[in-house]
Amino acid sequence: MTLIERVRDDHTMTEAAQVPEGRAPLAPSARPLPALAAVYRAQLSRARVARVPLLFVATFQSIGIMILMRGVVDGGAGAEANAVVAGSSVLVVAFVALNLLAQYFGQLRTGGLDHYATLPVPAAAVVLGTAAAYASFTVPGVAVTAVTGALLYQLPLGGLWLLLAVVPLAGAALAGLGAALGLLAPRPELATLAGQLGMSAALLLGVLPAGRLPEPLRWTRELLPSSYGVDALAEMFEPAPDAGLVVAHLGVCAGVGVLALALATWAYRRAARA
Amino acid sequence: MASSIGRAGPQTTMAPRDPDNPATPPAVVTVRGLTKTYRASGGWRRRAAGPAPRPANDAVDLRITAGEIFGLLGPNGAGKTTLVRQLTGLLRPDAGTVSLLGHDVVRHPELASRLLAYLGQEAGALDELTVSLAAETTARLRGLDLAAARAARDEVLGELGLEPLADRPLKRLSGGQRRLACVAAALAGDRPLLVLDEPTAGMDPVARRAVWSAIDRRRAERGATVLLVTHNVLEAETVLDRVAVLDAGRVIACDTPAGLKTLVDAHVRLDLVWRGEPPSTVPEIDRLRSLARVTGRRWTLRLPQERAREVVATVTRGEAFAALDDFTLATPSLEDVYLALGGRGEGLTRQ
């Protein structure tokens, strides 16, 4: 079942609970897509107000890492340069979507969820709308990082269009994980901690070239959904990118994204009716 | 319908409603035997060692009829918020039933959001939105289309005098203004039942009046029913049609404010505020000390009217008067009712 179907399913379940005659009529539920759009718009405005400085931090952090790594990695297309630039770009997504979203949902659990839980809005619309807002909020930072990195490491800029797929797909996976961590953590501080650990993992395992990692860390890297976004983007820096490989990497991202967002939706329902 | 807003004196017009009388308006909220105990957290050892936790709500029965402004009054920890969280489908009761407009919300908690608007105590979800977007988004999520949501937003911001703050994020507002913006979000989009948990907390008198006008308009023009949580005695007396008094999770009384006050109308409240130490040389003052509830330099006494007159005569002459900073004599309030009913009395406010 896709997430959109899940949203629809939520909606029809509520409609199915329509109640027999003799009882007061129920107000309609918010329809899933308009509700998702309303949450998305509100969250994006919220992010603009409150999170712009953090986006700067995320971008400068990634650019700083690329400058540092330039000292030990040669420019020009090569597995290592590709990995550093792609990893640093996806790191911006991890910073915002995983770390900040875990913090946001962790804090929301201390009372804020009541607001959404007493509105007739499908759980998936709240989670997807928020995750999508956080992911799209990262776009400028990712683009600046990727272009700066490509120039710094003399990589071709032509493949950067793939960011249009990498940001939403890696964003879905990381935001889903971030939301789930925030909603499942017993305390807001633990949600923050989990989000930061997740981001540190994305930093270490995403930015360092996979070939240089010890075997156990390489396996851990395979478990982290952002790695597939990194690999897809890194492939685009090759002189002749393997389209099949790119699609396969993005497919994994998408699959993990669906699972992560479904997990986050389940965690949201659980938290809202605690 | 007589407006309940802004009445300064005790109510005399409302009689207790009889649910068996066919003229009684239909029930909007019916609660039977509602019981909720929070499980102790912190591991099995603490659970095993401690005494059994006390129920936060203990066999609560309520019946709220259409068009009423009904209050839950009690100090912090009395179980008011636990009760409304069960009515709004946020919390599952251990036992008992809740019916909202004929719908069973214990079995179908998801239906509550289509019947009521809820204003909770926390504003975390709205904090970083602008006032305008908070109201509009909430209306959208109540199922209104964009044009209707914007119309509802404009209407409620106008009603509450929030237009000058429309573009400011909630977190940059003062506590009272932020609360007002949350009220705006709660009132955006029609609902037949409004459940408001301390809606006017931290507001100045102008904002309070705007909130009560907006709520009363929804009742007068659209027949809305209002369930209000408060620990403010004055607010309870001036705006509520009926009030249920909660103490330690139980409803200890339920009537009109005027009806409740007849329980204690033989008494008056006398507050004495001393400049410093009360004079110990006046024997009458010494006797009063043991009857008074002492809060700093303030003594609060609840006395039969005749006795109160004697005390006033004593303290307004000689050495006692010289030591007295201020005194007030007042007819009984719901706080006095609450104490007379055996409530613990801490945590109610009078402002």
The pTM for the full model equals 0.81
Distance from CA of A171 to the nearest CA of B (A): 22
Q: Does A18 touch chain B (CB under 8 A)?
A: no
* Min Cα separation B269/chain A (Å): 39
From chain A, the residues in CB contact with B126 under 8 A are 115
Instruction: Please give the pLDDT value at position A267.
Output: 93
User: What is the structure's pLDDT at B4?
Assistant: 39
Q: Which of B103, B120, B126 sits opposite A19 (nearest CB)?
A: B103
H/E stretch holding B338 reads helix B334-340
Tell which residue, B84, B124, B92, B228, has the closest CA to residue A270.
Answer: B92
State how far the Cα of B87 lies from the Cα of A250, in Å rounded to an integer: 45
From the list A28, A42, A274, which residue is nearest B143 (CB)? A28
B125/A113 Cβ within 8 A: yes
Q: What is the pLDDT of residue B147?
A: 95
In total, chain A counts a number of residues equal to 274
Section B135-141 average pLDDT: 95
Looking at per-residue pLDDT, the higher value among B28 and B50 belongs to B28
User: B324-330 and B225-230: which strand pairing?
Assistant: unpaired
When mean pLDDT is compared across B2-11, B29-38, B217-226, B325-334, the lowest value belongs to: B2-11
Produce one character per residue of B291-324: b if its CB has 16 or more CB atoms within 10 Å, e if not: ebeeeeebbbbbbeeeebeebeebbeeeebeebb
B9–chain A nearest CA distance, Å: 36
DSSP B34-68: EEE-PPP-S-HHHHHHSPPPPPSEEEEEEEEETT-
Between A19, A46, A120, which is nearest B142 by CB? Answer: A120
Among A100-104, B323-327, B335-339, name the one with the lowest average pLDDT.
Answer: B335-339
Q: Which residues of B touch A100 (CB under 8 A)?
A: none
Model confidence at A234: pLDDT above 70: yes
To the nearest 10°, report the CA torsion of A20, A25, A26, A27.
Answer: 150
Domain map (residue ranges) of chain A: 49-112+120-272
- Which candidate, A120, A184, A273, places its Cα nearest to that of B92? A273
Q: Find the CB nearest A118 among B90, B145, B149.
A: B90
Would you tell me which residues 126-155 of chain A have a C-beta closer than 8 angstroms to some C-beta of chain B? none
pLDDT score of A120 = 93
Q: Which of A174, A170, A208, A233 is nearest to A65 (CA)?
A: A208
- Chain B CA closest to residue A16: B111
Nearest to B133 among A30, A42, A272 (CB): A42
Mark which residues 104-123 of A lie under 8 Å from B by CB: 107-108, 110-121
Q: What is the H or E stretch that residue B101 is in?
A: none
Mean pLDDT of B67-80: 89
Residues of A with CB below 8 A from B121's CB? 111
- Band (pLDDT 50/70/90 cuts) for residue B12 is very low
Predicted confidence (pLDDT) per residue in B93-121, tens digit = 999 999 999 999 999 998 999 999 999 88
Two tokens, residue A237: 């820096």
Q: For residue A38, give the chain B residue with the closest CA.
A: B137
Nearest CA-CA distance, residue A117 and chain B, Å: 7
Residue A128 has pLDDT above 60, yes or no: yes
- Proportion of chain A above pLDDT 70, given as a percent: 91
pLDDT for A198 equals 86
Answer yes or no: do B137 and A41 touch at CB < 8 A: yes
Angle at A266 between CA A260 and CA A268, to 5 degrees: 100
Averaged pLDDT for residues A56-67: 90
Average pLDDT, chain A: 85
Buried b (16+ CB within 10 A) or exposed e, A229-258: bbbbbbbbbbeebeeeebeebbebbbebbb
- Of A40-44, A116-120, B18-22, B299-303, which range is least confident? B18-22
- Mean pLDDT check: name the lowest of A105-109, A182-186, A195-199, B13-17: B13-17
Closest residue to B114, CB basis, from A26, A39, A117: A26
Which amino acid, one-letter code, is at B137?
Answer: T
Q: Is A53 an 8 Å CB contact of chain B?
A: no
Tokens of A19: 């109640």
pLDDT category, B21, cuts 50, 70, 90? low
pLDDT for A4 equals: 45
> With bands split at pLDDT 50, 70 and 90, how would you rate the model's confidence at A8?
very low
Domains of chain B: 27-36+53-261 (3.40.50.300), 267-338 (3.30.70)
Question: By three-state DSSP, how is residue B224 classified?
Answer: coil
Question: How far is B343 from chain A, CA to nearest CA, in Å?
Answer: 28
Mutate to test the interface with B, among A118, A130, A183 (most CBs of B within 10 A): A118
User: Which of B100, B101, B141 is the mutation pick for testing A, counting most A CBs within 10 A?
Assistant: B141
Task: Work out the pLDDT band at B24, boundaries 50, 70, 90.
Answer: low
For residue B42, pLDDT beyond 70: no
> pLDDT tens digit string along A145-176?
999 999 999 999 988 999 999 999 999 899 99
Smallest CA-to-CA distance from B74 within B350, B302, B338, B300 is with B338
Task: Report pLDDT for A254.
Answer: 93
Q: In this predicted model, what pLDDT tens digit does every residue of B245-286 receive, in sequence order? A: 898 899 988 999 888 888 777 788 899 999 888 887 888 888
